[in-house]
Amino acid sequence: MKKHGLITKFAALGLAAALGLAGCGGQSGNGNQGTAAAEVTITAEDEALAKELLDRNVTANDVITVGVIESAIAQLKEKYSFEEQAELKIGSGSWVYLADKNGWFNELLGDNHTTVKIVEGAVGNEVQLMERDELHLMNRMLYPYLLYRSQGGDITAVELSEDPAPGIVAILVAKDSPYQTLADLQGGTIASWKAGCQYVALIEQTNDLGWTEGTDWTYANVSNDDIKTALQAGEVDAISVHPFANINNEIISGNFREIANAKENGVYTNYGGASVSFAPTEFANTHVNLIKAVLKLRQLVNAYIIQNPEETAAVLETITREPAENTIWYNNRSAETFYSASAPLSQLIEDTDNYQNWLVENTEEFTAEGRVDKETFFNPNFFE
């Protein structure tokens, strides 16, 4: 790529310009749908930072602009020779929607004749979809990834996030509930979803209180789709959830009260609550360059979302119909997980194995017989 002190070009992006455009709605996208031409200035500083970020993870200290993203895309195309793939199927999420709507997938992969399909409704069905070649890249918490692996899922981790702050999990009661603290819930019923790691955060907290499930409290396994209704209807006394937009609107309005979060400096906040990107093992091993480039784009877009909350949430509202206020609220709670882990691979393996030890000791879903070999937690092609 020729170096210039200042580059101005027209590109299919510009978040403000995109506001009036129809959202992708989870349909297959190739970067050409829902985009608008906007003038983008790429400075020498943008190019320099983009070049640096090709060889290290994006951090919260890096100021990510559209110019940095544009320059990084151009440099990624020079750095990598992408493997052939007609359609790359990625699980839906904020960064995927923005990358699609702003044409960044097409800029990165169009010359490779690779289009991106956004896969909706993949949560809880990832392994089955991957087995049928209907999903190639997904991001979930570390808990379901390890659970799938322990059950024999042929998947591999290609990226891990930083650890979360306690507020990424909220234990909620109704506004008129007599419960003021988690300890007050002894004898009550608390719901969570066993397919999600908010369940782990709840178990860690109840264990610390010395409670025995079934004696001191009752656990109810309720899906994310139904859990809010269960609390509203009085079917349970409390819920342990990730306060996504569909939940935090009840907190913002005052209908739900937050009485606890994940344990400060606990198993969950030290390593168990990290998120992980994973792919079918064979697909990851045969599409290393393609996935590396897409993951770098993910890092950049994720950082851009956190650093430009009002602008990006407004665009996401046109796609997901979730109010911008609610998206910003949850992103603030989960901001750490928008950045990839900076610790060396040896530390990530040790932390994850400690988490697996805790899961085997404290949950029915994990057993000593089903332990995942710690040397296979993370795909070495993607962790240097």
pLDDT one-digit tens code per residue, 38-62:
678 899 999 999 999 999 999 999 9
pTM for this one? 0.89
**Tokens matching residue 251:** 């907190």
pLDDT of amino acid 38: 61
Average pLDDT over residues 145-155: 97
* CB 245, CB 327: distance < 8 Å: yes
Helices vs strands, H then E, count in the chain:
16, 13
Average pLDDT over residues 120-149: 96
pLDDT of amino acid 168: 96
* CB 102, CB 56: distance < 8 Å: no
**Type of residue found at 357:** N
CA distance 192 to 203: 10
Average pLDDT over residues 103-132: 96
- Outline where the chain has alpha helix (H): 15-18, 44-53, 66-79, 94-101, 104-109, 126-131, 142-150, 198-208, 224-232, 245-253, 267, 281-286, 288-307, 309-320, 324-334, 345-362
Strands 238-241 and 189-192: parallel
pLDDT band at residue 252 under the 50/70/90 scheme: very high
pLDDT one-digit tens code per residue, 265-311:
999 999 999 999 999 999 999 999 999 999 999 999 999 999 999 99
**1, pLDDT greater than 60:** no
Q: Over pLDDT 70: what percentage of the chain?
A: 90
Nearest to 242 by CA among 258, 253, 255, 230: 258
CA distance 76 to 370: 39
Q: What is the mean pLDDT of the chain?
A: 90
* CB 37, CB 10: distance < 8 Å: yes
Average pLDDT over residues 336-362: 96
Domains of the chain: 6-141+275-334 (3.40.190), 170-261 (3.40.190.10)
